[in-house]
């Protein structure tokens, strides 16, 4: 089962990476009417939240560039950005490297209890690393759907 989880992570991340490679940089920052964020924010947010749901929930240091919290944490939005966010290529590189780090970090830790339960914005509480890791897959899929909707809206 542990191997299946990592395989699922690889499959999902492969879809994300193929998608980011198809997005032209000039479309990454468009925020169409009816949306709060852009494509770049969604890709960076995927990286930030997965990092948080694997490392931060255990009290471990996150391995992302420091500016990811400022640009991509929950509640942020491009309208409030100061400075230049990472390029899509830089985000893609971070997502690739993150997958390798997580695969080395999580084996035999799925059942590890979190020091403090993590409760998400929907009020769902998680108690183990395995629970938060699996939830991060759902989260990534949700944002990939948002990216598809953004791209479709922008491309019209």
| Residue-wise pLDDT tens digits, 112-135 | 999 999 999 899 999 999 999 999
Q: How many CB atoms lie within 10 A of CB 79?
A: 9
Q: Which two tokens stand for residue 52?
A: 């948080």
Whole-number Cα distances in Å, 73 to 22, 49, 78, 156:
24, 7, 11, 29
Give residue-wise pLDDT tens across range 8-55: 999 999 999 999 999 999 999 999 999 999 999 999 999 999 999 999
Please state, rounded to an integer, the average pLDDT across all residues of the chain: 95
Q: d(Cα 1, Cα 54) in Å, to the nearest integer?
A: 18
This prediction's pTM: 0.95
User: Which domains are present in the chain?
Assistant: 2-155 (1.20.120.450)
């Amino acid at each position: 089962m542990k191997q299946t989880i990592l395989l699922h992570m690889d499959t999902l991340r492969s879809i994300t990476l193929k998608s980011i490679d198809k997005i032209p940089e000039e479309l990454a920052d468009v925020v169409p009417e009816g949306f709060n964020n852009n494509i770049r924010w969604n890709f960076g947010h995927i990286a930030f939240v997965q990092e948080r749901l694997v490392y931060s929930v255990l009290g471990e240091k996150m391995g992302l560039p420091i500016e990811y919290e400022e640009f991509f944490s929950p509640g942020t939005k491009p309208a409030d950005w100061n400075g230049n966010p990472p390029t899509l290529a830089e985000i893609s590189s971070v997502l690739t490297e993150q997958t390798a780090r997580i695969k080395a970090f999580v084996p035999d830790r799925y059942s590890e209890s979190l020091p403090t339960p993590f409760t998400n914005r929907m009020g769902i509480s998680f108690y183990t690393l395995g629970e938060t890791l699996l939830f991060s897959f759902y989260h990534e899929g949700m944002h990939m759907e948002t990216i598809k909707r953004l791209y479709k809206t922008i491309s019209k």
